[in-house]
Amino acid sequence: MPEGTAVSRMFAGIAGRYDLANHLLSGGIDFHWRNRLAAKVRAHAPNNLVDLATGSGDVAFKLREKLGPNVEIQGLDFCEPMLDQARRKRDEVASYEGINFDFGDCMALPLPEASVDAVTIAFGVRNFEDRHQGLEQILRVLRPGGRLFILEFSQPDNWFRPFYYVYLKAILPRLAAFTTGDKGAYDYLAGSIEEFPSKDTLTEQILQAGFASVEATGLTASIVAIHEAVKAP
């Protein structure tokens, strides 16, 4: 698993063009993925939630749009330049006022035990220095019956896998280098996606961390998946 300070340093280097790269490299499908994630969260009507690995804040902003102004939303990330991007975007849109963006490492969350109704994390579990420890930290801060929503890359359906890996290995790093000027960061991205477990394996890892149940939904030929995990009441 990746070393935390190296990952933080890598994201700091691409923070200014991170959003553009995401939209370009996904062909705009990232908007759909965030919508699906936010819809699942809305179905459970949390009073407060924390968005981990919040990055430039796009998931937190989509959650505000879907959940309304009365839900308390906090975004945490361990890369300050990414948090700066999130704060700048928040301050430009009146309806995003009240979302707090703070420093927080998923390996030691700065949150009290059993203090939040829901936790979201989009494309961050893959970067955990210790996946089991990070999942246990999330379980700790959730209230009984609380829910974790993970949006993350997965292993694609068999029919789509050959095409996907041609794009991932041969095309994505070159597009990323053109967009961000940092091909190395997206070489890491491609490698981390290829090595990340399938939906079923990640489900088992979440259960091993202590969650009571997990439901996984593949999106876009399962190149990404949403895992919804429940803490025991």
Q: What is the mean pLDDT of the chain?
A: 90
For the chain, give the DSSP string.
---HHHHHHHHHHHGGGHHHHHHHHTTTHHHHHHHHHHHHHHTT--SEEEEET-TTSHHHHHHHHHH-TTSEEEEEES-HHHHHHHHHHHHH-GGGTT-EEEE--TTS-SS-TT-EEEEEEES-GGG-SSHHHHHHHHHHHEEEEEEEEEEEE-PPPTTTHHHHHHIIIIIHHHHHHHHHS-HHHHHHHHHHHHHSPPHHHHHHHHHHTT-SEEEEEEETTTTEEEEEEE---
Q: Higher model confidence: residue 222 or residue 10? A: 222
Average of pLDDT values for 121-131? 95
| pLDDT recorded at residue 53 | 96
0.85 exceeded by pTM: yes
- Residue-wise pLDDT tens digits, 43-95: 999 999 999 999 999 999 999 999 999 999 999 999 999 999 999 999 999 99
Q: Please name the CATH architecture into which domain 4-230 falls.
A: 3-Layer(aba) Sandwich (3.40)
> What are 139-188's pLDDT values in tens digits?
999 999 999 999 999 999 999 999 988 888 888 777 766 666 665 656 67
Spans of all domains in the chain: 4-230
